[in-house]
């Protein structure tokens, strides 16, 4: 298994990859610490019914690396890490499962701090906290998704201002994929700002809510790439920007909350050549980790929103530099991050 990890294409000099098995609770998890140059690694815990262990390894390696870049660009004093639990989040959750995860975190001695992610929530993190203090996103105010959605919104504003030369969303069409906590709140903000929504999700109840409350048009999941729109907002799982979908996109901007949106690095250049402005995922969706970091470091809650709103300024700088240097925005964002955490 070790040789498999080292040879995995997404292994990127990760400092530590830990496989956790706890038969009594049924826990099967992978914890990945990518880089701690700026501080302890921080990133959420995802629970997903992976088709194979190899798929789970690929996901945790990509996600943990992305957290290093996200945290560095956001100006946070933390490194990047992530954890994944192999299992069905709707049927396999138990308090014992997350307590076992807490014990595994405790054995790392603070090198990695977790929080909620896809398939987990603040209640799950409360069970983790019974066994370790290396967890954030707790209590009624622990949900980071509203701040992720806010970051996506101000990031989309920056993209519209830069690429479409306008300050308003009035009349713009947004094709939004994924109506989870982040996606729905982001959609709500866009609708309140005057955008028209075309949405797709695997959950019929979420779709009906979007139709009733936001006046959204509904399309099948796979049809979202064919929508004629101004903005494509991927807010589900990653790698939805790939050679197949790229040929189908009829948009001017990509600005969404999903992680690892580019299936491969060269998609960034392909988007640039098509004249599509890409808001790099780890820049635009950093609002949640900003909130979690402030909580964990016991920094004033009142300062979180101002920090999240600076995401728009960061993206404006990335867009301008990409134009002046003739580079994909994804490459520029990578270089900004690397200058911070590699120098450290």
Q: 145-341 adopts what CATH topology?
A: Rossmann fold (3.40.50)
- Given a contact cutoff of 8 angstroms between Cβ atoms, the answer to whether 98 and 115 are in contact is no
Give this prediction's pTM.
Answer: 0.91
**Residue spans of the chain under pLDDT 50:** none
Q: Where are the domain boundaries for CATH 3.40.50.720 in the chain?
A: 145-341
Q: How far apart are CA 339 and CA 344, in angstroms?
A: 8
What pLDDT, in 10s, does the model give residues 278-316?
999 999 999 999 999 998 888 988 899 999 999 999 999
CA 91 to chain centre: 24
The DSSP code sequence of 5-26 is: HHHSTT--S-SEEEEEEETTTT
Q: At 33, is the secondary structure helix, strand, or coil?
A: strand
Q: Where are the domain boundaries for CATH 3.40.50.10860 in the chain?
A: 2-67+78-128
Query: What per-residue confidence (pLDDT) applies to 2?
Result: 55
64 closest CA partner among 28, 31, 39: 31
Query: What per-residue confidence (pLDDT) applies to 40?
Result: 97
What residues are paired with 218 via a beta bridge? Answer: 199
Q: How many helices (H) and strands (E) does the chain have?
A: 13, 12
Residue recorded with tokens 């870049």: 69
Give me the active site residues, please.
Answer: 82
44 closest CA partner among 82, 3, 93, 16: 82
* Two tokens, residue 272: 């640039």
Q: How far apart are CA 342 and CA 337, in angstroms?
A: 8
- Given a contact cutoff of 8 angstroms between Cβ atoms, the answer to whether 322 and 332 are in contact is yes
Q: How far apart are CA 224 and CA 339, in angstroms?
A: 36
What's the Cα-to-Cα distance from 310 to each of 111, 253, 339, rounded to whole Å? 27, 20, 19
CA torsion sign for 286, 313, 334, 173 is positive
CATH of 2-67+78-128, one of 3.40.50.10860, 3.30.420.40, 3.90.1260.10, 3.30.499.10: 3.40.50.10860
Strands (E) across 41-195 are located at 41-42, 45-48, 79-86, 112-113, 173-177
What pLDDT, in 10s, does the model give residues 213-244?
999 999 999 999 999 999 999 999 888 999 99
Query: What per-residue confidence (pLDDT) applies to 159?
Result: 98
Q: How far apart are CA 177 and CA 329, in angstroms?
A: 21
Q: How many CB atoms lie within 10 A of CB 275?
A: 8
């Amino acid at each position: 298994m070790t040789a498999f990890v080292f040879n995995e294409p997404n292994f990127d000099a990760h400092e530590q990859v830990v496989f956790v098995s706890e038969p009594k609770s049924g826990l099967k998890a992978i914890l990945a610490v990518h880089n701690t140059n700026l501080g302890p690694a921080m990133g959420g815990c995802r629970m997903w019914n992976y088709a194979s262990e190899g798929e789970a390894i690929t996901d945790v390696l990509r996600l943990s690396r992305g957290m290093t870049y996200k945290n560095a660009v956001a100006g946070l004093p933390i490194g990047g890490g992530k954890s994944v639990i192999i299992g069905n989040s709707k049927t396999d959750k138990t308090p014992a499962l997350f307590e076992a995860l807490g014990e595994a975190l405790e054995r790392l001695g603070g090198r990695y701090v977790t929080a909620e992610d896809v398939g987990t929530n603040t209640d799950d993190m409360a069970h983790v906290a019974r066994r370790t203090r290396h967890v954030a996103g707790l209590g009624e105010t622990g949900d980071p998704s509203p701040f992720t959605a806010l970051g996506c919104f101000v990031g989309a504003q920056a993209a519209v201002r830069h690429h479409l030369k306008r300050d308003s969303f009035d009349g713009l069409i947004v094709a939004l994929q994924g109506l989870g906590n982040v996606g729905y709140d982001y959609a709500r903000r866009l609708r309140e700002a005057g955008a028209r929504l075309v949405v797709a999700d695997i959950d019929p109840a979420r779709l009906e809510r979007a139709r009733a409350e936001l006046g959204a048009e509904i399309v099948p999941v796979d049809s979202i790439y064919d929508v004629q729109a101004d903005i494509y907002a991927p807010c589900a799982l990653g790698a939805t920007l790939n050679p197949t979908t790229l040929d189908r996109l009829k948009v001017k901007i990509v600005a969404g909350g999903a992680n690892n949106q580019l299936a491969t690095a060269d998609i960034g250049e392909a988007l640039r050549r098509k004249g599509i402005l890409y808001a790099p995922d780890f820049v635009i969706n950093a609002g949640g980790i900003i909130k979690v970091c402030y909580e964990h470091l016991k920094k004033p809650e009142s300062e979180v929103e101002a920090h999240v709103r600076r995401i728009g300024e960061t993206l404006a700088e990335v867009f301008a530099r990409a134009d002046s240097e003739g580079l994909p925005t994804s490459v520029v964002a990578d270089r900004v991050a690397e200058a911070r955490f590699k120098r450290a």
